Structure 1
Amino acid sequence: MQNKPTLLVLAAGMGSRYGGNKQIDGFGPNGETILEYSIYDAIRAGFGKVVFIVRQEILELAKEKFLPKIEGKIEVDFVLQSLTSFVPEEFQNPDRVKPYGTAHAVLCAKDTIKEPFAVINADDFYGKEAFEVIGKFLSNGVQPNLHAMVGYAIQNVLSEHGTVSRGVCSMNASNQLIGMVERTAIAKENGKIIANGDGESIEIAEGTPVSMNFWGFHPAVFQQIEKMWDEFLLANKENIKSEFFIPLVANNLIESGEGAVEVLQGGKTWFGVTYTEDKPIVIDSLKKMHDSGEYPANLWH
């Protein structure tokens, strides 16, 4: 088993709210995608391989976009997520168009990843500190029954242009996750952070940690995910919109006692593009980071 962790990038999503394929949109001063910063930060945090989860229809595009820049700097692999991946024939539904979600995407990499690995979204900027803490955890702290996620304070991960969905975390005194609730409509209202949904409004305290889908797993998790996936398929056979998400896996591990998830305090800087209007803010933030020397003038030269 290689001792360097692997970075698993969830890049199969459509970017429907944003109105385009934001995974391959340029945001940096030289047209860099957000994902290139994550790969750059992962390389300097000691990661040895990057695995892209993509759909068949964007595979060639992803190779064209990323391989010329990163080949030779880190080992690269591509894995396909489709509506038939790990889906036995009797559960395949021709009416289904929606992908099965983030935990299914992770499962698709089961035969490719044999070492501890991190999971990220392709279109979120996570910051170098986040890669440092998770890289350290995956090299030294991870166990078959101990995984991690990077926590971000909720006030740092909102959009000025609309509501956002976030996994709001509860922790115990040892900084381990007790559970996570997905709140789908969070926004600032009159100086307070409010989550609306199911007819109720809940105020969330500013420092509350939330998940931005930055996870660290021991490869033993694949067996556990596969077991949950089989149960999910049985329970959702008729529901063509059902999705199998990573927080569901985390909550199941915790509730069953089969695993614990440490919340790492590394989430200092985050930005993402939920809405088209977010783009200028991201471009400006990245330019400032280049200007201050946090990133070289050109990431890959």
Structure 2
Amino acid sequence: MKQPVLVVMAAGQKSWHDGLKLIDPVDSQENAIMDFSVYDAIKAGFSEIVFIINRENESRFRSKIDRTISKYVKVHYVYQELYDLPEGYLVPEGRKKPWGTGYAVLSCIYELKGAPFAVINADDFYGRQAFTLMYDQLSSRQDDLDQYHYAMVGYRLKNALTKAGAVSRRICQLDQNGYLNEINEYHFIEKKDGRFLYTQDGGDSFRLISADVIVSMNFWGFTDSFLDELQSRFLKFLNKDVQKAPLNAEYFLPAVVNELIREGKADVAVLPSDEHWYGGINSENKAAAADAISEMKKSGLYPKNLWN
């Protein structure tokens, strides 16, 4: 069995500057949130990293990785390209939006070469436990002849909110054995007076939601079978969804997972984590992540100089 590989989605979403925000420092040693994730991944056992990047950010991004991470693990780069489509397909006129997280992961197909792999966002702090759980899962479980076996790290809602106001979160419905049944996105979730509330009608009404409900923060684990499914279903996406919304349709990774579960082709083991999640693009959220990381350094979880 091949060793698990970590895939880091670091292409950015909106502009050249958004891509560079991913390497903004959160400590005095110029480390980004991504550095701590990769450090935790190495501690968990990962020894190979694939970074999904934009060509326009390549020089500065590679320069940072070459100074730090690439000294300790094998590093690959792939590009999230709007124009890299199957033969016979063209980008709709006026389209600038990337194709989505499913397409981003599909771009790694030639680098992963049959290995199981984990997927994370570059700007999210997941915590050491999450990487250990995922590495152990990917190292010990393979597909059966009649079913794929995937995994997802799940966070308690109370540990995955921000101080920057209401958020959207992907709420997970689990079966009695702790496997994923379905993911649905809830909007405008916030904590008020000690209660967790959400609204689906723009604020006309609010409903209670459990603080301990499991949410997905886009930390996935897959066997190489998932790449084949992504590839075949991307053609369906181009033929159907892009025809309906040529400028905005996106090929989302969780949507493909939902389809495979509904079809009975895959199960997804949810690995509950007690860690706190922190996001990094918003300045207020990044400050919260920096404060938390500072405390973790004081406790000895991370060294003062991460890559020395």
Assess same fold via TM > 0.5.
yes
> 1:279, 1:90 → 2: CA distance?
39
SS of equivalent to 1:82? coil
The question of whether the paired residues in 1 share the 8 Å contact of 2:156 and 2:273 is answered with no
> 1:212, 1:23 → 2: CA distance?
17
Aligned to 1:123: 123
Deviation at residue 94 of structure 1 after TM alignment: 2.9
> 1:28, 1:135 → 2: CA distance?
27
Is 1:294 the equivalent of 2:301? yes
SS of equivalent to 2:97? coil
Question: Aligned letter for 1:227?
Answer: S
> Could you list the runs of 5+ residues in structure 2 that have no partner in the other structure?
none
Deviation at residue 15 of structure 1 after TM alignment: 6.5
Change (3 A) 1:135 1:260: same
Aligned to 2:263: 256
Deviation at residue 202 of structure 1 after TM alignment: 3.4
The question of whether the paired residues in 1 share the 8 Å contact of 2:54 and 2:80 is answered with yes
Deviation at residue 61 of structure 1 after TM alignment: 1.7
Question: Aligned letter for 1:107?
Answer: L
Aligned to 2:99: 100
The CA deviation string for residues 184-223 of structure 1, in whole angstroms up to 9 with x for no partner, is: 3222233222222344533221100000000000011111
Write out the 4+ residue segments of structure 1 that deviate beyond 6 Å after TM superposition.
Answer: none
Is 1:218 the equivalent of 2:220? no
Aligned to 1:228: 233
Question: Aligned letter for 1:255?
Answer: R
- Greater alpha carbon shift after TM alignment, 84-93 vs 176-185: 84-93
What TM-score do the two structures reach when normalised by structure 1?
Answer: 0.94
Of 279, 283, 301, the match for 1:276: 283
Question: Aligned letter for 2:257?
Answer: A
Question: Aligned letter for 1:268?
Answer: E
> 2:11, 2:268 → 1: CA distance?
25
* Identity value in percent: 36
Aligned to 2:39: 40
Deviation at residue 60 of structure 1 after TM alignment: 1.6
Aligned to 2:49: 50
- Greater alpha carbon shift after TM alignment, 58-67 vs 173-182: 58-67
What TM-score do the two structures reach when normalised by structure 2?
Answer: 0.92
Deviation at residue 159 of structure 1 after TM alignment: 1.0
Is 1:153 the equivalent of 2:156? yes
Aligned to 1:195: 198
> 1:237, 1:131 → 2: CA distance?
35
Is 1:163 the equivalent of 2:162? no
Deviation at residue 88 of structure 1 after TM alignment: 4.0
> 2:54, 2:18 → 1: CA distance?
18
> 1:173, 1:293 → 2: CA distance?
37
> 1:100, 1:19 → 2: CA distance?
17
> 1:162, 1:98 → 2: CA distance?
26
Counting matched residue pairs gives 299
Deviation at residue 272 of structure 1 after TM alignment: 1.2
> 2:238, 2:123 → 1: CA distance?
28
SS of equivalent to 1:278? helix
Question: Aligned letter for 1:47?
Answer: F
Deviation at residue 235 of structure 1 after TM alignment: 1.1
Of 194, 197, 210, the match for 1:205: 210
